[in-house]
Amino acid sequence: MRRREFITLLVSAAAWPVPLVAQQPAIPVVGFLSSRSAGEFPHLLKAFDKGLNEAGYVEGRNVMIEYRWAEGRYDELSSLARRLVQRQVAVIVAIALPAAIAAKAATKTIPIVFFSGVDPVKAGLVASFNQPGGNLTGTSLVMTDLEEKRLALLRDLVPKATVIAALTNPSNPNSDVEMEALVSATRALRQQISVAKASSAADIDAAFSALALERPDALIVGSDPFFLSRYDQLVRLAAFHAIPAIFFAREFVAAGGLMSYGASLSQEYHQLGVYTGKLLSGVRPGDLPVTQPTKLELIINLKAAGALGLEIPPSLLVNADEVIE
C-alpha cells in the first residue's frame, strides 16, 4: 500500500462513528443509621435483609448498604445522619427514635424509614399513621402503652412486691413519656416505685449499686436501644443482685434474663426491609402507612426463675408465647 493510500485510510477510519458503550445504572445505596453498636444481634440484620430480598433487592447485587453506628452515643447521631445525606444515599433506615429525629433534621427529601418504640405522631415524625406525609414512614411499637401490662406481669410474678424499681435512659427523648406512663400505672395500683437513670455502661453499674442498697422487690427495664446494646450487662447485674426483672425484648431473656413482654424485633426488622425495598422502587414514604405489631409476645426463662427462687404462676406459663428452659 502506497503512503498516500495509507494516510487516506487512517483519515477515513478516524471519521467512522465510535459505538457508544451503554452506561450501567448506579447501584442505589441505603444508609443504615442505628443508635446501637455494630455486631449486635446479627439475626435482626438477617431479618432486615430477608425483607429487602422479598422486595427484590439483594445487597451487593442491586443495592449497597452503608452502616453508621452511634454505639449508644445519641449526641453523635446528627453528625452521622448528615454524612449519609452528603453521601447522597437513596434511603435512610433509622433505628430508634433518636436516630429518626436526627435523620429527619438532616433531610427533607431523602426517604426515611424508621423503627421506633413511640407514637410517631406525638413525636413529630409523621402527620398520621395512615397518611404519614413528608419523607418518613416506618414501624412503631408504641411501647409506652405496654408499661401497665409489664407492671401487671411483674406483680403477678412477685405478688408481695412493696417497691418496684424502674431503669430509664434520660438521653432518650422518649424517657419522660415512658416514665410518666409507668408512674401513672403504679399510682393506679397504689404501687411504690423507685426510678433509676443510666445513659452509659458506668451509669448502669452505678444504678445497680444504688438498687442494691434500696433493695427493691422487682425491676422494670425501660424500652431503650442503648439498654438493648447492654443486654448482657443488664442481665448479669439483675442476676447478681437477685432482682426479678422484666425486659422489653426477647433478646434479654435468651441471654438469661427472667421475663420479657413486647413485640418481636425480628418481625419489625423484616418489615423495615420490605418498606426499604418499596422506597427504593419509587414508592413515596407518605403513601406507606406506619405499621404496628400485630402480636406481642411474653417470654419466660425458667432457669433464671429457679436461680431467683421464684415459682412461675401457672397463669403466666399458660399465657407465655415461649418458655426457655
DSSP string, 69-102: E-TT-GGGHHHHHHHHHHTT-SEEEEESHHHHHH
| Calpha distance 158→171 (Å, rounded) | 30
For residue 12, is it within any domain?
A: no
Q: How far apart are the first and last CA of the chain?
A: 91
Q: What's the CA gap between 102 and 94, in Å, rounded?
A: 9
Domain-located, residue 42: yes
Residues 136 and 211 in one domain: no
- CA 52, CA 46: separation in Å to the nearest integer? 10
State the maximum Cα–Cα separation within the chain, in Å, rounded to a whole number. Answer: 110
**Which backbone phi and psi does 263 adopt, to 5 degrees?**
-80, 160
Q: What is the pTM of this model?
A: 0.84
CATH number for the domain including 315? 3.40.50.2300
**Inside any domain, residue 20:** no
Same domain assignment for residues 219 and 309: yes
DSSP code at position 199: S
224 touches 95 (CB < 8 A): no
Residues 65 and 182 placed together within one structural domain of the fold: no
DSSP codes of every residue in 28-49: PEEEEEESS-TTS-HHHHHHHH
> Are 111 and 198 part of one and the same domain?
no
pLDDT at position 8 is 47
How many domains does the structure of the chain reveal? Answer: 2
One digit per residue, the tens of pLDDT, for the chain of length 325 reads 454 454 444 444 444 444 444 445 689 999 999 988 888 789 999 999 999 999 999 999 999 999 999 988 899 999 999 999 999 999 999 999 999 999 999 999 999 999 988 889 988 999 999 999 999 999 998 755 688 899 999 999 999 999 999 999 998 888 888 888 888 888 878 889 999 999 999 999 999 999 999 999 999 999 888 999 999 999 999 999 999 999 999 999 999 999 999 999 999 999 999 999 999 999 999 999 999 998 899 999 999 999 999 999 999 999 999 999 8
Residue 250 lies in a domain: yes
Pair (151, 194) in one structural domain: yes
* 38 contact partners, CB below 8 Å, separation of at least 6: 67, 69, 71
Task: Count CB neighbours of 188 within 10 A.
Answer: 10
**Cell, residue 298:** 411474653
Mean of all residue pLDDT scores within the chain: 90
311 and 187, same structural domain? yes
24 domain-assigned: no
Same-domain status, 308 and 163: yes
Determine the residue type at 49: D
Same domain, 206 and 106: no
- DSSP string for residues in 15-26: HSPPPPPPPPPP
Contact 139, 104 (CB under 8 A): no
Cβ pair 158, 132 in contact under 8 A: no
CB atoms within 10 A of CB 107: 17
- Rg over alpha carbons for the chain, rounded to the nearest Å, is 26
> From CA 182, how far away is CA 8, in angstroms rounded?
90
Kindly report the length of the chain: 325
What DSSP state is assigned to residue 193? E
Within-domain flag for 241: yes
Contacts (Cβ under 8 Å, ≥6 apart) of 62: 27, 28, 56
What is the per-residue pLDDT for 210? 96
Q: What is the pLDDT of residue 181?
A: 85
Say if residue 224 is in the same domain as residue 279: no
The answer to whether residues 112 and 179 belong to one domain is no
Burial class (CB in 10 A: 0-12, 13-18, 19+), 32: buried
Task: Dump pLDDT digits (tens) for 112-135.
Answer: 999 988 889 988 999 999 999 999
pLDDT reported for residue 72: 83
180 Cβ neighbours under 8 A, 6+ residues apart: none
Question: Which pLDDT belongs to residue 21?
Answer: 45
Domain that holds residue 134: 29-142+265-287
d(CA 298, CA 153): 9
